[in-house]
Structure 1
């Protein structure tokens, strides 16, 4: 209507002039009334177009924003529920794994400790008593470590005891020596306090390497080198060929898990047979 009015106003001016010149009084009053009514209708329509359309647009925008906000809130609620369900499923799976480990591993290790204690009490020769005592001590330590692992599985924030560091390395080597393996330790560089994560990783490297020696080369002489560098700690464990051969079966995952542990702290692990026979494990752990 506004466009039509803008287009037709020259014709309306000519019509008004013609009405003033030619129309009689009665027809003139009719023309003036129609002109006023048309002008009023045009003003109403134009005002409605100028004010009503923005009002309708504003109402539409508000409704759209409300719908979008409701969708966002629903999406966030669904995401929170999904996270809660995932946490619940993870906790249930951790508890199941903890129960399985307790039933399968802890029970067997407990029986080993009990039998070792009985053997220690009833054995007649000193060497058997010493070996039984060592088996019992190692078994009790394994139970302690297993309880810590089960505590981690059962609770997201378990209470943990002190973790082994390089200060406990001699005790670990003595356990292997008590089982009849010749283990020599060599330290290079200036010993100094290192970050706990680096020391724990180095301890686990030596522990896993000695475990492999016990499994696959039980009588082989073993060398443990600990080298303190300016920015890294190098741990080398290498053993000579076994004189008896054979050994216990392994899962094949020990070195894989050890490599993951070392790489997790930004280090590097190399493991493999030596050219002159035997096996070696080398870990380089950053300390800066």
Structure 2
């Protein structure tokens, strides 16, 4: 079992780092702000002891400024711009008054971090740049007029250190912002891929159910009409029609159950193999039960055909014969299967003429055949012949690889 870190999602970044600010904007960040406040207050007291001869001692006003800088961080999720400018203004006032350097910079860093990762980069840069420029003006020009100044300008080395600190804070915040955007893009891509897979699976199931039901119901419809016509005068022939209906419905129920089982438990292997071209004799027998005589011709040497391509070829032939049963006045059809290097060619012809609506329209059956062929990189053509019949022609590519055991065509069925 995969071990999961308590602060890390499965295979992803730490939750505190990957979580977008707007996801927690409904609540104020009290725990982290209280912790930052404790660090700032205690750290500033310790820092003041080491700067007693250089900076002004901490007093009540200094404590209030530190508290204000920390309190502004409570708004960093809901109002990050106000938070970064509020903490920067309090920190700037604190430094201008000559109070000791120390963790006051932490409040500016946290405010800047929150503004950058929430998308307010210009506000964060402006706030941090204002703090640095304000410190430069105070330390090298305005210090002469400040009441708490010791009358000496600060060293430029100190200014470079503060500038490096500001650049490091902005760079860190920008890095986290970029990483969050990348993780968000990856999550969106994974979600889109999952939706595409779900849509493709639903479409595949819909094609399977359509092909199964359309063929079986067509056979049942034809045989029920035959049975009704012969019931009174030829009861034995009507019994044969009812037997065909029973067998067709039983087979259809079995295939539908197999599809639904696969839909309920997509992770399990199918309980029965998917139909393929080796089941064409059964298809021919079912067509014969519907009054259609089918001739099957194999051309070439058949090698190993992947199950997906084999199923698609079977369904294309099945749908083409179903259209003959439903829409053609002809009671004969010819199926030709050509096995060539790297491809399978299918051709289904009937003599016509059409008895109902034009079979070459945009019905679900022909659309399903085209989708099956397109998914596998194949092509399909369906349309009337010049002599009045109808033809379906498909070509499915085979994957390149070592040739499997060859099976020679058996000729005419």
Task: Return the TM-score normalized by structure 1.
Answer: 0.63
TM-aligned CA deviation for residue 240 of structure 1:
0.7
- Which of 1 and 2 has greater Rg? 1
Q: Is the 8 A contact 1:232 1:284 kept in 2?
A: yes
Q: Distance in 1 between matches of 2:274 and 2:318?
A: 13
The match for 1:14 is none
The match for 1:64 is 170
Stretch of structure 1 that moved more, 272-281 or 253-262: 253-262
Q: Is the 8 A contact 1:234 1:284 kept in 2?
A: yes
TM-aligned CA deviation for residue 269 of structure 1:
0.8
Q: Distance in 2 between matches of 1:68 and 1:205?
A: 55
- What secondary structure does 1:129 align onto? helix
TM-aligned CA deviation for residue 137 of structure 1:
2.3
The match for 2:280 is 169
Residue 241 (structure 2) aligned to one of 131, 135, 139: 131
Instruction: Note the alpha carbon deviations across 1:138-162, whole angstroms, 9 max, x for none.
Output: 2233233333444455555354231
Q: Distance in 2 between matches of 1:251 and 1:142?
A: 24
Q: Is the 8 A contact 1:265 1:285 kept in 2?
A: yes
Does 1:49 pair with 2:156?
Answer: yes
Does 1:286 pair with 2:386?
Answer: no
Instruction: Note the alpha carbon deviations across 1:50-86, whole angstroms, 9 max, x for none.
Output: 2x12321222123223433443565436964896699
Q: Is the 8 A contact 1:218 1:247 kept in 2?
A: no
Does 1:143 pair with 2:221?
Answer: no
More helix by share: 1
Q: Distance in 2 between matches of 1:283 and 1:181?
A: 21
User: After the TM superposition, which residues 197-276 of structure 1 pair with which residues of structure 2 at under 5 Å, given as runs?
Assistant: 197-217=308-328, 219-242=330-353, 245-246=355-356, 252-276=363-387
Q: Distance in 2 between matches of 1:86 and 1:263?
A: 19
Q: Is the 8 A contact 1:131 1:178 kept in 2?
A: yes
Q: Distance in 1 between matches of 2:171 and 2:256?
A: 55
Task: Return the TM-score normalized by structure 2.
Answer: 0.45
Q: Is the 8 A contact 2:329 2:352 kept in 1?
A: no
TM-aligned CA deviation for residue 127 of structure 1:
2.6
Cα RMSD after superposing both structures: 3.9
Instruction: Note the alpha carbon deviations across 1:8-63, whole angstroms, 9 max, x for none.
Output: xxxxxxxxxxxxxxxxxxxxxxxxxxxxxxxxx99x857x202x123212221232
Q: Distance in 2 between matches of 1:237 and 1:227?
A: 12
- What secondary structure does 1:214 align onto? helix
Q: Distance in 2 between matches of 1:270 and 1:82?
A: 35
Distance 1:173 1:148, change over 3 A: same
- Gaps in structure 1 of 5+ consecutive residues: 1-40
- Gaps in structure 2 of 5+ consecutive residues: 1-149, 401-413
Q: Is the 8 A contact 1:165 1:199 kept in 2?
A: yes
The match for 2:53 is none
